[in-house]
């Protein structure tokens, strides 16, 4: 209880003093810590104000409902929506499932085509695969080398049978920002719904559902310093987007999503959105300075490193770098002081390296050498400098023991060798 | 994933990193794996006049388990005859390092690297040292 008190009474100032010092957390695209202000807002709804927000007959229900509706408004405000257009879900995975399957199922008699992108999150791709099994046709748009889609290819892919276009706002691995307003324009002109998975974008970049002509948008709590287990789906009312529900029951959330709302989590997501809304501009600038400092230092100190994805059309808190001749998981083991992630195969059970990097045309051998470094609200300059120092040290050490580095130094082209794929 | 102390020790303090001249007559070079798969091992043996492996070196591109497996392999082949070294099994390497199931292929690669180095050395003895094997990945 004492620890919790310390945490919640400390105003967040970005110094991260409440966290253990090591390993330094640089994986903000995987998840974010709850902002102590968020936790503080949530706590009363576990104990004093525990009512069921759907109870209409007493004060316990009313105060919970009030809290939930305030949170709904806070979420709506972040993306320029009306609170009636926000549906609470368990997270972005559910939101994406509901958007895609919900629209597809509702329209199946008239439209049976879906357009998405090869670099989408697995929950979008897997929902699409599932719909393919049901008989829907899916177009997976390729991306250009910088990770962005080609708008002409999108235009060409839309047919009279297209029900929905789903393009993520910001990619979770490489942080690139898709041209949302342009995509929205194209979709609206063809009367096709535009869904965007904004799990990595909400609270990081300005989003406006009207200006960008977005019809459905998925949001995640734990990517924006809110709690895990809560998310939201924005569903446009004018012109109305029709959905078939995935979860049936008491008809909560206008029948789109039954189940008792988890009041503390809703409050947490709302507070997280409100904080992000207030601080986004300043925070983005601070993160961009840190990110640029890090990338510049790495480039100065290490030859043969490559940034994956566009540098400019990118959220400020993301770096995805290939360190040629050094395998990603081997590298991560050498930087135990840092918590980062890798696009290498070895981090997962599969032997394939990151499908996102492959979709950019990054060659497999380079995809195996990538690190994703995520900076966030509690990252400090000294942490960035510390990280650079350790990464440089580890890369140099591992290159000294890399046969590929040795060949490169001897001028042998590793592509000229006939490797035995295993 | 939690790794064994032995594995971490080989990763942190790898034994016998380095290279011998691959064209030298008493050196056998094994180069196995593929960059596209995320693992490449180069293992070299230097064979003494008594037919025993006098020294061994390695360089590895790969995860911690691959680095540790090849480091261990160089330790184990030293002092052995070619016939003895050939008998080193990947299962022994995997067991010694307590490799998790998804990392067994690293020990397989280390066994392959030993065999490839021995094969290269033997070919040199019969062909009169062409020394080309290092440019070609063995299986």
pLDDT (0 to 100) of residue A349 = 55
Contact call for B38 and A345, based on CB within 8 A: yes
- Calculate Rg over the CA atoms of chain B: 14
**Catalytic one of B25, B34, B37, B102:** B37
Please give the full DSSP string across A321-334, using - where no structure is assigned. Answer: EEETTS-HHHHHHH
Closest residue in B to A422 (Cα) is: B33
Q: Three-state SS for B70?
A: helix
Judged against a pLDDT cut of 80, whether residue A11 lies above it is answered with: no
> From chain A, which residues contact B within 8 Å (Cβ)?
325-330, 333-334, 344-346, 349, 351, 353, 363-365, 368, 400-406, 412, 414, 417-422
pLDDT (0 to 100) of residue B39 = 93
Q: pLDDT tens for residues A288-325?
A: 999 999 999 999 999 999 999 999 999 999 999 999 99
Q: pLDDT tens for residues A163-172?
A: 999 999 999 9
Question: Residues of chain B with pLDDT > 70: what percent?
Answer: 91
For the segment A387-393, the average pLDDT, to the nearest whole number, is 97
Residues facing B34 on adjacent strands? B39
For the segment A22-28, the average pLDDT, to the nearest whole number, is 96
Contact call for A401 and B59, based on CB within 8 A: yes
Contact call for B35 and A400, based on CB within 8 A: no
Per-residue confidence at A84, pLDDT binned at 50, 70, 90? very high
Largest CA distance in chain B: 47
Work out the number of other CB atoms within 10 angstroms of the CB of residue A201. 26
pLDDT (0 to 100) of residue A245 = 96
pLDDT (0 to 100) of residue A231 = 98
What is the 3-state composition of chain B as percent helix, strand, coil, each rounded to the nearest 5?
50, 20, 30
pLDDT (0 to 100) of residue A415 = 85
For the segment A323-347, the average pLDDT, to the nearest whole number, is 87
B60 to chain A, minimum CA–CA distance in Å?
5
pLDDT (0 to 100) of residue A9 = 34
The shortest CB-CB distance from A353 to any of B32, B38, B59 is to B38
What is chain A's mean pLDDT, rounded?
A: 93
How far apart (Å, rounded) are the C-alpha atoms in residues A239 and A234? 13
B135 to chain A, minimum CA–CA distance in Å?
7
Judged against a pLDDT cut of 80, whether residue B1 lies above it is answered with: no
pLDDT (0 to 100) of residue A17 = 52
How far apart (Å, rounded) are the C-alpha atoms in residues A323 and A331? 9
pLDDT (0 to 100) of residue A350 = 59
Q: pLDDT tens for residues A50-68?
A: 999 999 999 999 999 999 9
pLDDT (0 to 100) of residue B126 = 87
User: Are the CB atoms for B90 and B8 separated by under 8 Å?
Assistant: no
For the segment A130-153, the average pLDDT, to the nearest whole number, is 98
Judged against a pLDDT cut of 80, whether residue B70 lies above it is answered with: yes
Judged against a pLDDT cut of 80, whether residue B139 lies above it is answered with: no
Question: Residues of chain A with pLDDT > 70: what percent?
Answer: 93
Tally of CA atoms within 13 A in the half-sphere of A8 that contains its CB = 12
Active site residue B37: yes
Active site residue B63: no
Chain A with chain B: Cβ pairs closer than 8 A: 100
For the segment A31-50, the average pLDDT, to the nearest whole number, is 98
How far apart (Å, rounded) are the C-alpha atoms in residues B114 and B56? 10
Q: pLDDT tens for residues A197-233?
A: 999 999 999 999 999 999 999 999 999 999 999 999 9
pLDDT (0 to 100) of residue A345 = 55
């Amino acid at each position: 209880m004492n620890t919790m008190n310390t945490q919640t009474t400390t105003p967040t100032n970005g110094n991260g003093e409440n966290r253990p010092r090591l390993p330094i957390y640089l994986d903000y695209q995987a998840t974010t810590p709850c902002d102590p202000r968020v936790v503080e807002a949530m706590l009363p709804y576990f104990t004093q104000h525990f009512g069921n927000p759907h109870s209409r007959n007493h004060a316990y229900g009313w105060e919970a409902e009030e809290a939930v509706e305030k949170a709904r408004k806070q979420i709506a405000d972040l993306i320029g929506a009306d609170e009636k257009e926000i549906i609470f879900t368990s997270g972005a995975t559910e939101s994406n499932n509901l958007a895609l399957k919900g629209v597809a199922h509702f329209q199946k008699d008239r439209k049976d085509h879906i357009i998405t992108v090869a670099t989408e999150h697995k929950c979008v791709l897997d929902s699409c695969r599932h719909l393919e099994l049901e008989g829907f046709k899916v177009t997976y748009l390729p991306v250009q080398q910088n990770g962005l889609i080609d708008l002409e290819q999108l235009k060409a892919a839309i047919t009279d049978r297209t029900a929905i276009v789903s393009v993520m706002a910001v990619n979770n691995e490489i942080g690139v920002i898709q041209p949302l307003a342009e995509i929205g324009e194209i979709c609206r002109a063809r009367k096709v719904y535009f869904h965007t998975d904004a799990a990595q974008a909400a609270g990081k970049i300005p989003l406006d559902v009207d200006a960008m002509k977005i019809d459905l948008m998925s949001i995640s709590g734990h990517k924006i310093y809110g709690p895990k287990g809560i998310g939201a789906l924005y569903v446009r009312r004018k012109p109305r987007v029709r959905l078939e529900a995935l979860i049936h029951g008491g008809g909560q959330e206008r029948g789109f999503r039954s189940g008792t709302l988890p009041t503390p989590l809703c409050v947490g997501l709302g507070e997280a959105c409100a904080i992000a809304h207030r601080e986004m501009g300043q925070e983005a600038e601070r993160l961009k300075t840190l990110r640029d400092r890090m990338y510049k230092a790495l480039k100065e100190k290490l030859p043969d490193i490559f940034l994956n994805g566009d540098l400019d059309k990118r959220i400020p808190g993301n770096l995805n770098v290939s360190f040629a001749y050094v395998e990603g998981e081997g590298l991560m083991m050498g930087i135990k002081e840092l918590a980062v992630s890798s696009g290498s195969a070895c981090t997962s059970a599969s032997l394939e390296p990151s499908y996102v990097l492959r979709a950019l045309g990054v060659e497999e051998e380079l995809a195996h050498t990538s690190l994703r470094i995520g900076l966030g609200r509690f990252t400090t300059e000294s942490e960035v400098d510390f990280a650079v120092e350790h990464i440089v040290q580890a890369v140099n050490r591992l290159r000294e023991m890399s046969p590929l580095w040795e060949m490169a130094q001897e001028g042998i082209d590793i592509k000229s060798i006939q490797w035995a794929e295993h | 994933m939690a790794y064994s102390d032995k594995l971490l020790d080989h990763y942190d303090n790898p034994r016998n990193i380095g290279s011998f001249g691959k064209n030298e007559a008493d050196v056998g070079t094994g180069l196995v794996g593929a960059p596209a798969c995320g693992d490449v091992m180069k293992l070299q043996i230097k064979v003494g006049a008594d037919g025993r492996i006098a020294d061994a070196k390695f360089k590895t591109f790969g995860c911690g388990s691959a680095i540790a497996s090849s480091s261990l392999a160089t330790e184990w082949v030293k002092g052995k005859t070619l016939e003895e070294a050939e008998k080193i099994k990947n299962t022994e390497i995997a067991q010694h390092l307590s490799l998790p199931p998804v990392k067994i292929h690293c020990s397989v690669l280390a066994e392959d690297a030993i065999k490839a180095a021995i094969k290269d050395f033997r070919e040199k003895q019969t062909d009169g040292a062409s020394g080309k094997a290092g440019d070609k990945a063995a299986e």
